[in-house]
Structures are given as structure tokens and as C-alpha cells.
């Protein structure tokens, strides 16, 4: 963990679930964390919890659908600590339905948060990383993009888009800026609560309760990726329950 201590790391969607677990594990290992999410009260509580445990954390309310919020998020890190070493683009949302049901509002929400939100995070961080000649992008993707099933078409599409963009960036980079894609399977979080389709909400909840893994497992994957020496890049990791098909 020598490569984590003292590093400045920003996490979107940090208020709950995977983002919260990532923030806590990074802070436990000595990182200075910047927490971003829409619910500022939840972030403030988490920041205080981290500080009470001896860690270092600041927070700012952001909506990843707004590019200016991501710019402000990254600028907060630079203003407070003089640099940014890692950005974890974790914020995400799922609306599951048949494509011919035409939940256009749900499509737009997923595209704006899951895809454009990641791009905005990358766009905010990259100028800083280029100036520093170092930096690491971690994009939280999903196993839904690896196994295509009915009801998840648009959600999987947004996640596969991030996978494609991440790989393209890896090939374009000269290695000074690294990128890692992490695809979680069923994880025990409140992720299902935003799903409008009641049948799908129940199915996802059931999967989480039956085989879901602790968010800490995904946080450990982030730790593994960002703790590597500068000449080592972890391209993609898949973290899922051993019982998940």
C-alpha cells in the first residue's frame, strides 16, 4: 500500500454502496479522499466518520450529469491538496425494462449518469493529470455489459460504452495516465432502490440478498489497481459472487 499513502483520490457516488466502501478503504490506507455525490449530508457524515478514524477527507455536492460540477470537484482536490492522483468514476444508475416499452426517460438518465458522467469525470481530471504527467482513472463498469440479457439492454449498452472508451483511452495513452475498468456483479447495496420497474426491482433485490457480495470486495479491487507501481497498469477486473452465472 506504499503507493496509496498520501495520494489524493476523488470518488463520485461516494455517499453509499460501492463508492462509500471505496472511500473508506482508500482512507484507511492513507489516501486523502475527496467525496462527491448529490446528497451532501450523507457525504458530510462519511467525511466525519473517516476523519474520526484518523483519515483525511473532504466532500462536495455534485451531480455528474453537470460537467461544471465535475470540473469543480476536481478543482476542489487541486485547491485543497495541490494535485489529484486518482479519480474513481463510480456514480451510476439502472433502469431495467424491455426496449420496446420505450422508457426514454430512463434511457436518458442512464446515458447522462453512467456514460456522460464518466466522460465528464475524465474530462475534468485529464488536464490535471497531463500537467502532472501522472494520474489514474478508475471506471466502475458492470458485469451486465459482459453477459447481455433481456431487460438490461440500455443499461448494458451504457456500461459497454464505458468499457470501449476505457480500452480506447488505454491504447491512446503513453502510460503516464493509467486507466482501469472494474466490473462488479451482484453487490449488496441500495442500488435497486432507484429502479422504477417493480418486477425488476424485486428480482435485483433477491439476487443481492441471495448471492450479493460485500461492497468491500470491490473496494479491495480498487486498492489493488491503484497500489501498483507506476509502470504497471491493471486494465480490467471482474469482481462477482462465485455463485453468479
| DSSP three-state, residue 10 | strand
Is 156 within 8 Å of 148 (Cβ atoms)? yes
Is 14 within 8 Å of 43 (Cβ atoms)? yes
Phi, psi of 174 (to 5 degrees): -90, 5
Would you call 155 a catalytic residue per the annotation?
yes
Pairing type for strands 32-37 and 135-140 reads: unpaired
Is 237 within 8 Å of 180 (Cβ atoms)? yes
The beta strands (E) that lie in 32-158 are given as 32-37, 56-61, 86-89, 135-140
Catalytic residue among 81, 120, 155, 224: 155
Is 180 within 8 Å of 236 (Cβ atoms)? yes
Q: Report the length, in residues, of the chain.
A: 245
User: Which residues participate in catalysis according to the annotation?
Assistant: 155
Amino acid at each position: 500500500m506504499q503507493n496509496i499513502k498520501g495520494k489524493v483520490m476523488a470518488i463520485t457516488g461516494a455517499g453509499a454502496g460501492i463508492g462509500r466502501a471505496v472511500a473508506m478503504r482508500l482512507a484507511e490506507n492513507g489516501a486523502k479522499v475527496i467525496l462527491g455525490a448529490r446528497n451532501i449530508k450523507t457525504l458530510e457524515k462519511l467525511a466525519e466518520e473517516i476523519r474520526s478514524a484518523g483519515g483525511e477527507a473532504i466532500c462536495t455536492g455534485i451531480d455528474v450529469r453537470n460537467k461544471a460540477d465535475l470540473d469543480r470537484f476536481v478543482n476542489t482536490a487541486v485547491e485543497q491538496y495541490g494535485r489529484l492522483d486518482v479519480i474513481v468514476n463510480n456514480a451510476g444508475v439502472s433502469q431495467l425494462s424491455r426496449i420496446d416499452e420505450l422508457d426514454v426517460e430512463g434511457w436518458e438518465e442512464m446515458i447522462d449518469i453512467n456514460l456522460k458522467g464518466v466522460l465528464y469525470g475524465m474530462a475534468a481530471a485529464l488536464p490535471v493529470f497531463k500537467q502532472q504527467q501522472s494520474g489514474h482513472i478508475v471506471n466502475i463498469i458492470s458485469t451486465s455489459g459482459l453477459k447481455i440479457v433481456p431487460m438490461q439492454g440500455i443499461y448494458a449498452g451504457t456500461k459497454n460504452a464505458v468499457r470501449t472508451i476505457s480500452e480506447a483511452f488505454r491504447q491512446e495513452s503513453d502510460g503516464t495516465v493509467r486507466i482501469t475498468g472494474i466490473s462488479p456483479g451482484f453487490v449488496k447495496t441500495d442500488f435497486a432502490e432507484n429502479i422504477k420497474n417493480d418486477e425488476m426491482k424485486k428480482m435485483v433485490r433477491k439476487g443481492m440478498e441471495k448471492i450479493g457480495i460485500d461492497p468491500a470486495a470491490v473496494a479491495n479491487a480498487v486498492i489493488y489497481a491503484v497500489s501498483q507501481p507506476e509502470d504497471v497498469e491493471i486494465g480490467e477486473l471482474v469482481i462477482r459472487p462465485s455463485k453468479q452465472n
